[in-house]
Structure 1
Amino acid sequence: MERRRFLGLTAAAAALGLTATVAGCGTLGGDGGDVTLRLVAADYDLTGGNTTKKYWDELVAAFQAGHPGIKVQVQVESWDDVDRKVAEMVKAGQAPDVAQIGAYADYAAAGQLYSADDLLSIPVQANFLPALAEAGENDRTQYGLPFVASTRPLFYNADLFDKAGLKPPTTWDELAEAAKKLKEEGVRTPFALPLGPEEAQAESLMWLLAGGGGWTDDSDRYAIASEANTETFTWLKDELVGQGLTGPIAPGKLNRKAAFAAFARGEVGMLNGHPSLVQEAAKQGVKVGQAPLPGIDGPARATMGVADWIMGFKQNGHRKEIGTFLDFVFSDENVLKFAGDNDLLPVTVSASSRMETATEHAGLREFLKALPTAQLPPVGKTSWAKVSETIKQDIGKAVTPAGRPADVLGAIARTATTAEAAE
């Protein structure tokens, strides 16, 4: 099993009663002299709008009003491009001061990032959900600061389920039977299985955890070709894909974005969901049901958690100013606004507690409930970027008619061994 990274609150963190409302007034200061920080951030707007840019523009305006010596320039890039563009900037010797992207470990291992200790005031640093803080560590030092998080339950089209007389499945066998019934009812894609290169490493991990495996074992060592993982992909190949229950597009060619869009159009019976899909499906008149992910013999004992990261680069030497800005970013108001507006989960103790009781965030409570047993991918490994990319490109082959799960997983495992040896 992958090392347990529980996202529940530790007693020590809860006892602190943290509020994270320092609003940039931490011990690091940074108001002396005129400094311009450059921030590159990912675009979370699923509809092609400018809500992410508007968020940052408003946050920066409020920050600059209280810190006239620090200016912040914001550059928002799509998720398709942001990691690559930041990597190109760093390689060219033009690193941004702050980057909000998908991975941090390579930069941390190369000595290019400030640590959390370097940047944040003590109350802000102590307020992160413990497992997210741990997942942000490289060589036992935190460099990645969690920005937003999500968990993934099972989504189902409630109207299609009612029409077919179905209840939410709790086991894999029940899931397969429900998918067969939906197919008989004419549903185009009974279960959407996006193993395409957009996010195959995450979709796969949800199934691996439900099957008693994971990308790593309890010691955080890669266990990609384990018996449990092989059995999971064999079941997917034989009982879902091989039975024609995953729709007209081969899983290895289906990306998450396309699967979610099809679900929002009412063409998909079930898929492993994401908080942002709830609102989009509702806009198109699809009633979304949510349930714990099914496992082999009952609900999955663990589900996947995902975090996106924000980090400060050393290159321009703006440690104090970056720290002052990030203290402000992690105030409850800013954390809750971004998470709530994008149907995602906050990354701090205090903001999570507020979201649990806020009526306007009632739709996210099921996702918050999954936090205590959620597990993250091994993002702290510098080898994970290479391993993750290999999974994205190759894992879909495991469920093709000619595919052999053991062979595909074995090849990925060899890539992981080589990548880890090079760390």
Structure 2
Amino acid sequence: MRNLHRRTKVSLVALLQIMTMLLTGCMWRDARLPAATDHEAQATITFVAPEYSASTRPYFENVVKEFEVKYPTIKVELQVINWDILDSAYNTMISRNQPPDLLLTNIYAHFAKDGLLNSMTELLSKELKEKFYPYLMDSSMMNGVQYTVPYVTTLRELYYNKDIFNDVGLTEPPLTWIDLEEDSRIIKDRKQVDGFGVDLTDNEIWAYLSYFFYGAGGGWMKDGKWTINSPENVEGLTFLKHMYDKGLTDPEPAITTRDEKQRILGNGKLGMLISGNYFEAVVPQEYPGLKWAKGPIPVKEGQTPMVLGVQDVWMSFKTDHTNKEALSKFLDFIYEDARYEEFVLREGFLPTLRTVGDKMAEDDTLMKQNLNSIKNAKFYPINHPAWSAVLNATRNMGQTVLLGQMTPKQALDRLQQIALDKSR
């Protein structure tokens, strides 16, 4: 009940934030009108970014301030929005025909399909384009057009509390589903804490589905076709439900988020969970005494170990005031090596710029290891227009499956049909 009450409070705050942003959005149109100066008209860039942490807003506010000092004829209007309400906020702006000039988020292909996005090829300077890791640009391409560019990326792995493992006699992380089940049972029985944290909330259910789809030898797509209800994927979701039914996961997979579970692990009440490499920067800082380690995501016996990567990307919406020269200058500015490295370090991400990543890897063995691993990572199909609808349809699926209101196959059959319908 405590968690349900907390989510209600967050929802009320989110509602107030949306109302505030809608009012702000209504004022954007007037604010965008060029203001005459002595020499030339002033360009305006509207810019929406997600709030990754408490450091995000101050960082971008400072970037905007420095940019406007360097380019006094370009005004930047910034909104940093909590991830929980980001989708609602920018979709409302778009529905009012007031999209931002720049948006940083994790989906884009449905916007490109509807003809709403500028080509990033027209905005990127030659120097900036050459700085990206080529293998991280694939997800930004759709029908041969560069609609987005990656800003940050993360690598997903299994993180565990070493003290808990040592207390129950475990010396290494589980590599297979059999190991994961057995280790979770040992932790539960001997330590009286939860073994494995699972996030099936509307924050990131698609991530845990991916871990166990790919872990079973399946995936979201194969040869350009949706395969959401494949036997492998059904087996992966069935295993997750089996772990929950046996009491080997945390008790609230559909309520407590990954970030909340990271804190539970830091407090010594959870053995392990799958998270991104930002765990390494955020959780030990919050819990200085925590002893942690990591391993690969467990897979079904006989399957090849898998790596999942996740990207957030920049996109630019077509507007009646688009100033491509101003946007190009702003993108160059936020991707300047020193400035960009600061953001990566603040938030605990992996860089998408070769010039920054190679430099950081020289001094950081863990960074070098992570950048090598992500070269072979699987990514969400964000360059498929149906992905947005599929992602949204997963949001309330976790509790439905866990409570037995739908079988794993029924739930995945429904997702498959949504994918096919939206692909037509």
TM-score between the two structures when normalised by the length of structure 2: 0.85
Select the structure with the greater relative contact order (CA < 8 A; seq sep ≥ 6): 1
Q: 1:268 to 1:409 in 2, by over 3 A?
A: same
Q: CA deviation at 1:265?
A: 2.1
Aligned: 1:320 with 2:325:
yes
Aligned: 1:128 with 2:132:
yes
Q: 1:216 is aligned with what amino acid?
A: M
Distance 2:340 2:192 in 1: 39
Judging by fraction of residues, say which structure has more helix.
Answer: 2
Secondary structure in structure 2 of the residue aligned to 1:80: helix
Aligned equivalent of 1:40, options 43, 48, 57: 48
Distance 1:279 1:176 in 2: 28
Offset from partner CA, 1:263-302 (integer Å, 9 cap, x none): 2322110110222223332122322211111222368532
Q: 2:162 is aligned with what amino acid?
A: A
Aligned: 1:303 with 2:307:
yes
Secondary structure in structure 1 of the residue aligned to 2:49: strand
Instruction: Provide the residue aligned with 2:408 in structure 1.
Output: 405
Secondary structure in structure 2 of the residue aligned to 1:380: coil
Aligned equivalent of 2:282, options 280, 302, 317: 280
Instruction: Provide the residue aligned with 2:217 in structure 1.
Output: 212
Instruction: Provide the residue aligned with 2:391 in structure 1.
Output: 388
Percent identity (aligned): 27
Q: CA deviation at 1:85?
A: 1.1
Q: 1:395 to 1:300 in 2, by over 3 A?
A: farther
Aligned equivalent of 2:246, options 232, 243, 247: 243
Offset from partner CA, 1:136-194 (integer Å, 9 cap, x none): 12222111121111010110101100111102111111111111110012342210111
**Does the CA contact (< 8 Å) of 2:196 and 2:270 recur in 1?**
yes
Offset from partner CA, 1:178-221 (integer Å, 9 cap, x none): 1111001234221011111111011210121122111111x221
Distance 1:127 1:299 in 2: 35
Aligned: 1:200 with 2:205:
yes
Q: 1:391 is aligned with what amino acid?
A: T
Distance 2:162 2:304 in 1: 21
**Does the CA contact (< 8 Å) of 1:155 and 1:270 recur in 2?**
yes
Q: CA deviation at 1:75?
A: 1.4
Offset from partner CA, 1:217-241 (integer Å, 9 cap, x none): 1x22110011111121222222x22
CA RMSD of aligned residues (A): 2.0
Q: 1:221 to 1:127 in 2, by over 3 A?
A: farther
Q: 1:260 is aligned with what amino acid?
A: Q
Instruction: Provide the residue aligned with 2:179 in structure 1.
Output: 174
Distance 1:171 1:123 in 2: 44
Offset from partner CA, 1:386-412 (integer Å, 9 cap, x none): 111112221443344564222221111
Instruction: Provide the residue aligned with 1:340 in structure 2.
Output: 345
Aligned equivalent of 2:59, options 55, 74, 77: 55
Distance 1:71 1:389 in 2: 34
Structure 1 unaligned blocks of 5 or more:
1-30
Q: 1:197 is aligned with what amino acid?
A: D
Secondary structure in structure 1 of the residue aligned to 2:391: helix
Secondary structure in structure 1 of the residue aligned to 2:329: helix
Secondary structure in structure 1 of the residue aligned to 2:214: helix
Distance 1:75 1:401 in 2: 41
Instruction: Provide the residue aligned with 2:7 in structure 1.
Output: none
**Does the CA contact (< 8 Å) of 2:151 and 2:352 recur in 1?**
yes
Aligned: 1:66 with 2:74:
no
Aligned: 1:234 with 2:242:
no
Instruction: Provide the residue aligned with 2:257 in structure 1.
Output: 255
Q: 1:37 is aligned with what amino acid?
A: I
Aligned equivalent of 1:95, options 96, 99, 106: 99
Aligned equivalent of 1:264, options 263, 266, 277: 266
**What is the count of residue pairs matched by the alignment?**
382
Distance 2:212 2:63 in 1: 38
**Does the CA contact (< 8 Å) of 2:282 and 2:348 recur in 1?**
no
Q: CA deviation at 1:32?
A: 6.1
- After superposing the two structures, state which structure 1 stretch, 222-231 or 260-269, moved more: 260-269
